[in-house]
Structure formats: structure tokens, C-alpha cells
Structure 1
């Protein structure tokens, strides 16, 4: 008998065990899962990763419980390595057992060790009632939290996600769900038993609820669309905080160009609304920029884009919503986005056009000052490259949170001629002070000259023609990138965020 023949029985046994794990919950459960329009855990990983790059770890964890209900390993997205874990709902409802918990910890540990992104695909019921719980077991959330600000982290909610498993999502930088997803502290049966409330999973934590609460950032139609969005999102980021964002290849990067279209998009009359998204379409390399959290706090647009081929984060007021006034949700959204961008060294482009923070009793009850202070702290302590442009107006604290503070270490500050600024608008000041008609006219005229007076005292680096917008921002960005003459490292936070 040859040495190879000696191995046959052992390798047959390994093959049988692997096949058991790869069969997941078996044909019937897999068929039922797919009938709901969902991909199974392994199909999700195959769709997410570059073809043929998945390398599984912990395949035999769980013994008779196939892979202990979570498929985990490494692969590549857009050619770059990532760690990935996918809960398998067809096996014990994707619940977390002792071995699965250790696998979850391990992939987060490896993501940080190897300085690569971590992606979690959620579709599970939380800890098993009979399984190991926190106690002395290694809890995956500890390792995942240690990844925060060091490697990009993404969670996708692709089915019901409850209990401990649901906590994975809000700890991640970016959260996205499908229309078949739901996320909650405890599912409907537990809610019924605990509180007497009879509620469906959709009403408890479906997409509408999760978007309104801010627990998830984006929603896509189905598994395929969610996984495609994750690939797009990660394309803007470096693998870790020890790297800078990768620029597009020279052949794909758009160069300088005038932007005469902005004269038609941005009305000179401050009272006329326009869609800031149209400005982004013109200014950045191509109109397929990626918006984060479009349905939450829509008075601010948070987006990932390319400028001259370089990834940037965009914070832009939206005049179509609340006339651009910044409410608590918009400020909270922007603060988180700023911290993520800063953590991974994405330059931030601020496009300001707002009349200030949203006033009123409802706004105050929602904590607009706390949220505004959080956004202000986030942008003030940000160490990445910052560029600012005031298009038409920026008043009071609303200007400060949008990085309109002179000599605040910005790479560049620009404004359009005629841009108005100050503590409040001339109209609001006239009403507040009961000014007569003559004084109101003088206040309005002074307001219209504000950009020139500011420019005379170096309040901006330059007043620019709207047709120069892209070229001015691109030139400033290219200059600012030359400051990167040392190896990047994780950001040290220097403020307690309100």
C-alpha cells in the first residue's frame, strides 16, 4: 500500500464532513429560503466576492450543526482582500452557538490584524437559548469594536436579525438592508411575551422603521442589489487606516473642466430652491456617486464621489429640504459620516447653502443643538483634507458646522460672489429687530455685499465664478494631497463627541 492510499480513508472522512457543512440546512430548507427570493449564505458570499477568491475558515466548526450556522472566511472585493461572515438562516435560523461566536470573533480579529475590511451578512436569530452566552466566551462584538476606525466595517441585513446578532449592524461604519430584512432587539414572539404588543416583524424593524431610526443607512431591492452596493461602497476606501484611499487609474480619472451648467442649476435668488444633487453630478467626475443614508436627515447629502480620480466624501446642504436648514437628523448623519471619512483619510468637500440650524420647538425637542454640536466637533477635529465652498448662503452655527471658519486648517475655502453670511439673514434680522423699511433695505444691501467684505479681509481664499467650481476644488485637492508625505496611521480622537 502506498502512502497516498494510506490517506484515502482520512481524506474521505474530511470530504464527507466538508460536504455536510456545505449542504447547510439541507435541500428542503434551502429551497424554502430561495422561494422567498433570497440567496443562501454561500451564494451571498460568492456574489459579494470576486469570483473564485473565497477561502473558508472554520468549516467544521459546529460538528453536526453545519458550520455552526455561519459561513466565514476571506476573499477579495475589487481585487482587495476582505474578511466576510454570512449567517446561515437555513441552519438553526442562523443562531449563534459557541463555535460560531468564536468564528465571528476570529474573522474580526484577522481583519484588524491583516488591516483589511470586515463585511458581515446578517440573517439570524441571535444567541441560541442553550448556547454559550457572554460569560467567559470571546464575544465577537469586542473584536468588531476594536476594528472601528481602523478597518472599514460593513453590515448587510438580508433577513430577520435579532438579539446579539442585530448589534453587529450599528457597530459597523455602513449598514444596508434588503426589502426582506428586519432588525430588532427582540423579535415579535419575544415582544408579545414581554410587553403584550402584537406586532409584525416589518412594523417592528423593517426597512421603513430601520431607515427612520437611522439604524441602517441604505436599503436596496434584493440580496443582489445589496451586495453590489457593498462592492461600490468599499471601492472608495483604503483597506485600513494605515493606507490612503486609492485613486482611479489615470485612464479613468476625469481632468479639469469648466462647469457652466451651474449657472442654470444654482439660482442667484436665495429664495429659489434647486436640487444639490444636480450640482454633484456636474462637479464630480461622473454622476454615479454613492449616497449614504439618503432617506434620513435629507436636509444634508452625504456622498462618496471621485474628484480628479481621487475618492472624496461630500457633505452638502440640500435646499430642496427645509430650504437647506440643518435639523437634528441631518447633523447626526453628517457627524457620523465625517468621522468615518476622517478615519480613512478621505478628503471632505463641504458644499454650503443653508439658512442655519432649523429653529422651532419641534426642532429643539429633537435636540438640534446637541446634534449640531456633535457635527461641529466632528468636523473641527477632523484631520483629513477639508475643502469648503459657500454657494449662496451660510448663516450662524449652520456655517460653522459646514467648516466655514476662517483659518481652521482647511486646504481651501471658496465662495460664489453674492454669497450671504452672518449671524442670520437680513430678512430675519429685520423681523427680529422690527426694523423700518429704510433699515431693512440697508440690511439687505449689506448682506449682498457680505462676500466682498469677507474677501477683503481674507474670509475666503477666493471668490470664484460658478463656472470655475470644479477646477478650483480639483486644483486645491491636488495641492492638498502633497501634504501626505508620511505614512498614514489611525486617527486619534481629541474631543468627546456631544
Structure 2
């Protein structure tokens, strides 16, 4: 007998235990899962990561409970390392036991230690009822909270997610759900037991509810689409706050070009509607920019794009929605987006065209002033590169939250000639002051002249022709990136969010 023969029994036992883990919930449960059009936990990881790069840890945790309900490890996305955990719904409904809790903590711990993104693929029932004592075992959410603002964190909701596991999603920077996903504090059976309400998981926390509440950011058709969008989202970000966002290769970066098309897209009259998305199509490198949270607070567009090959975060008013007036949902969405972009050093590009914060009793009841203050605090505290263009108008506090103020640490501020600004529009001021007809005409002319007066006092760095929009922003960004002469590091947060 050779020394190698001595290993056979031990290695056979290792192989047996690995097979138990890899078999997950067994053939019957896997078939049922696949029958719903879903990938299983291991197939999700295989689809998400670069082929052949997954390195699992904690394979044997849980013993006969395969991987204790969560597959965890590391791999590469476009050649860059990430940590990834996938709840296995075929094993005790993806519920969390002591071993699974330790693995989840380890995922976040390693993500922060090694300064790489953390991706959680969720479909689970939360902590499982157990006679085992958790004691002072640290929970994964503590480690995850320590990752915030230091490494990108993403959650994919690929089925029902309840209880403790569901809390992972809102702690992440960005969350995307499949059409079969759902998220709630407690599932329908617990709701019925606690309150007597009978409700389906779709009506409790399905895509329609989660999008409307702002709990999730984006929706995708199925598992594969969710995983592909997570890869795309991460492509705009550095691996951590200790590095800068990766630029596109030279051959893929956009060159300077005229944006004369904007003369046809952006009407000269302030009361005429247009789609700001068409502006993004023209200004940025290619019309495949990625919109974040399009169904929530649609009066503001938040998007990831490239400008001259550099990843940027775009905050733009949408005149198609309430004439671009900023309501509470739009401000809350933008505040979070700005904070995430700033944390990972993405330059912010503001495209302003709004009549101010949304007035009215309904808006006030939703806390529009608080949400507006939150957005203002986020943008004024941002230390990343900031670029601003006023296309037609920006009134009152609506201009301040869109980073119009020229002394607010921007690298560049521009406006189109004829852009109007001030405390309120001439029409609103005329009505509020009961102005005579001749006074109203004077007010309107002063409004039209406002951009030239402002430029004459350096209220903007320059007034630009619409066809110069891309090139003005690109030149400003190319200059501003020279500010990155010091090593990147996490932002120090000192502002209390209102």
C-alpha cells in the first residue's frame, strides 16, 4: 500500500460530503424550482460570474443541510473579483441557520477586508426556527453595514425574501428584482396569523409594491436578466472606495462631437414638454446608459453613463413628469443615488430643467421639504467632480438641489442662453403680486435676460450653444479628473441626512 492509498477513505468522505452540498435540496425540489423558470442557487452563481472562476467557501457548513441554505464564495466579473452569496430556496426555503449566518458574515467581512464588491442573491425565509442558541454570534447585517460606502453592495431578489434576509436588500446600494421576486418584513402566513389579513405574496411585496415604495430600484424579466444587469451595474463602479472608476478602453471611449440634435429635442419655450432621456442619448458616449430606479420618483432621472469613456452619474429633471417639478420621491431617489455615486468617486452631471419643488397640499403631506433638504445635503456634501447645465429653467430650491449655485464646489457650471432662474417664474410672480399687464411684460423680459445677466456676473462659467453641450462637459471632465492626483479613499460622512 502506497502513502497515496492512505488518503482514499478520507478523500472519499470529502467527496461524499461535497456531493451532499452540491445536491442542494435534492432532485425533486430542484426540478420543482426549475419548473418555475428559475435558476437554482449554484446555476445563478455560474451565470453571474466569469466562467470557471467561482471558489466556494463553507461548502461543508450545515452537514446534512446542504451548505446550510446558502452558497458562498468569490469569483470574477469582467476579470475583477467579487464576493457572492446565493440563498438556496430548495434547502429549507433558503432559511438562515447558525452556519449560514456565519457564512453571510464572512462574505461581508472578506468583501471589506479585500476591498471588493459584495453581491447577495436572495430567495429565502429569514432565520429558521431552531433550538440552537445563536448567543452573541455576530449577524451578517453588522458586517454589511460596515461595508457601506466602502465597497459596492448589490442585492438581487429572485424569489420571495422575508424577515432578516430581506433586510439585506435595503442596506445595499442597489437592488434589482425579477418578476417572480417579492420582499416583505414577514410573509403572508405570518401576516394572517398576526393581523388576520389574507394577502398574496405578490400583493404584499411583489414587484408592483416594491417599485412603488422605492424598496427596490430596478426590475428585470427573469433570473438571467437580473444577473446580467448586476454585471452591467458593477461595470460603472470601482472595486472599492479606495480606487477610482475604471474608464473604457481607448477604442471604446466617445470622441468630441456636436450635439446639434438638441436644438430639435429641447424646445425654446419653457412650457413645452420634451423627453430628457433623448438628451442623454445625444450627450453621452452611447445610447445604452443605465437608468436606476426609473419607476420611482420619475420627475428625476438617475442614470449611469459614460462621458469620454469615464463612468459618470447623471441627475436630470424630466419635463415630461409634472413639468420637471421635484416631489418627495424624486428627491429621495436622487439623494441616495448622489450619495452612492460620491462614495465611489463617480463624477456627477446635473442637467437642470425644473420649475422648483412640487407645491400643493399632497406634496407637503409627503414631506417634500424634508426630502428636498435630504437631496440638497447629499449634493452639497459631495466631494466628487460635479458638472452642471441649466437647459431652460431652474427656480428656487429646485435649482439648489440640482447643484446650480456656482460656489458649490462644481468643476463647471453651464447654461443655455435664455435659461431662466430665480425664486419663481414670471408667470407665478405676476399672479402672486397681482401685477399689471405692463409690469408682467417687464417681468417676462427680465426672466429671458436672466441668463445673460447671470453670465455677466459669472453666475455660470459660460453660456453655451446647445450643440456644444457634450464637448463643454467633456472638456470640463477631462480637466477635472486631474484632481485625482491623490490616492482614492472612502468619504468621511459628517452631514446628518435630514
> Aligned equivalents of 2:128 and 2:315: distance in 1?
42
> Aligned equivalents of 1:271 and 1:465: distance in 2?
20
2:443 corresponds in structure 1 to: 443
1:280 corresponds in structure 2 to: 280
> Aligned equivalents of 1:227 and 1:168: distance in 2?
17
Contact 2:416 2:465 in 1 (8 A): yes
2:153 corresponds in structure 1 to: 153
2:115 corresponds in structure 1 to: 115
Equivalent positions of 1:325-404 (< 5 A) are 325-404=325-404
The 1:114–1:360 alpha-carbon spacing in structure 2 relative to 1, beyond 3 Å, is same
1:194 corresponds in structure 2 to: 194
Residue 389 of structure 1 aligns to a residue whose secondary structure is: strand
Equivalent positions of 1:245-260 (< 5 A) are 245-260=245-260
> Aligned equivalents of 2:132 and 2:87: distance in 1?
17
> Aligned equivalents of 1:132 and 1:349: distance in 2?
52
Can you list the C-alpha shifts for 1:345-403, whole angstroms capped at 9, x where unaligned?
A: 00000000000000000000000000000000000000000000000000000000000
The 1:156–1:69 alpha-carbon spacing in structure 2 relative to 1, beyond 3 Å, is same
Tell me, which stretches of 5 or more residues in structure 1 are unaligned?
Answer: none
Contact 1:96 1:131 in 2 (8 A): no
Contact 2:156 2:175 in 1 (8 A): yes
1:432 corresponds in structure 2 to: 432
Q: Does 1:166 align with 2:150?
A: no
Equivalent positions of 1:398-417 (< 5 A) are 398-417=398-417
Can you list the C-alpha shifts for 1:87-118, whole angstroms capped at 9, x where unaligned?
A: 00000000000000000000100000000000
1:214 corresponds in structure 2 to: 214
> Aligned equivalents of 2:7 and 2:133: distance in 1?
39
> Aligned equivalents of 1:273 and 1:201: distance in 2?
39
2:36 corresponds in structure 1 to: 36
The 1:80–1:479 alpha-carbon spacing in structure 2 relative to 1, beyond 3 Å, is same
1:238 corresponds in structure 2 to: 238
Q: 1:406, CA displacement in angstroms?
A: 1.7
Q: 1:138, CA displacement in angstroms?
A: 1.6
Tell me, which stretches of 5 or more residues in structure 2 are unaligned?
Answer: none
Can you list the C-alpha shifts for 1:323-362, whole angstroms capped at 9, x where unaligned?
A: 0000000000000000000000000000000000000000
Q: 1:232, CA displacement in angstroms?
A: 0.2
Residue 251 of structure 1 aligns to a residue whose secondary structure is: helix
> Aligned equivalents of 2:407 and 2:430: distance in 1?
30
Equivalent positions of 1:257-268 (< 5 A) are 257-268=257-268
> Aligned equivalents of 1:343 and 1:182: distance in 2?
28
Residue 167 of structure 1 aligns to a residue whose secondary structure is: helix
Contact 2:302 2:334 in 1 (8 A): yes
2:289 corresponds in structure 1 to: 289
The 1:30–1:403 alpha-carbon spacing in structure 2 relative to 1, beyond 3 Å, is same
Contact 1:98 1:131 in 2 (8 A): no
Q: Does 1:104 align with 2:104?
A: yes
Contact 2:98 2:134 in 1 (8 A): no
Q: 1:271, CA displacement in angstroms?
A: 0.6
Aligned length: 498
> Aligned equivalents of 2:135 and 2:166: distance in 1?
19
Q: 1:408, CA displacement in angstroms?
A: 1.2
Can you list the C-alpha shifts for 1:281-315, whole angstroms capped at 9, x where unaligned?
A: 00000000000000000000000000000000000
The 1:203–1:134 alpha-carbon spacing in structure 2 relative to 1, beyond 3 Å, is farther
1:497 corresponds in structure 2 to: 497
2:270 corresponds in structure 1 to: 270
> Aligned equivalents of 1:123 and 1:302: distance in 2?
27
| CA RMSD after TM alignment | 0.7
Residue 364 of structure 2 aligns to a residue whose secondary structure is: helix
2:5 corresponds in structure 1 to: 5
> Aligned equivalents of 2:224 and 2:352: distance in 1?
35
Q: 1:493, CA displacement in angstroms?
A: 1.0
2:456 corresponds in structure 1 to: 456
Q: 1:129, CA displacement in angstroms?
A: 1.0
The 1:132–1:342 alpha-carbon spacing in structure 2 relative to 1, beyond 3 Å, is farther
2:127 corresponds in structure 1 to: 127
Residue 251 of structure 2 aligns to a residue whose secondary structure is: coil
2:298 corresponds in structure 1 to: 298
Residue 314 of structure 1 aligns to a residue whose secondary structure is: strand
Q: 1:26, CA displacement in angstroms?
A: 0.4
TM-score, with normalisation over the residues of structure 1? 0.99
1:22 corresponds in structure 2 to: 22
Q: 1:210, CA displacement in angstroms?
A: 0.3
TM-score, with normalisation over the residues of structure 2? 0.99
The 1:197–1:46 alpha-carbon spacing in structure 2 relative to 1, beyond 3 Å, is same
> Aligned equivalents of 2:365 and 2:77: distance in 1?
43
Contact 2:303 2:313 in 1 (8 A): yes
> Aligned equivalents of 2:285 and 2:78: distance in 1?
20
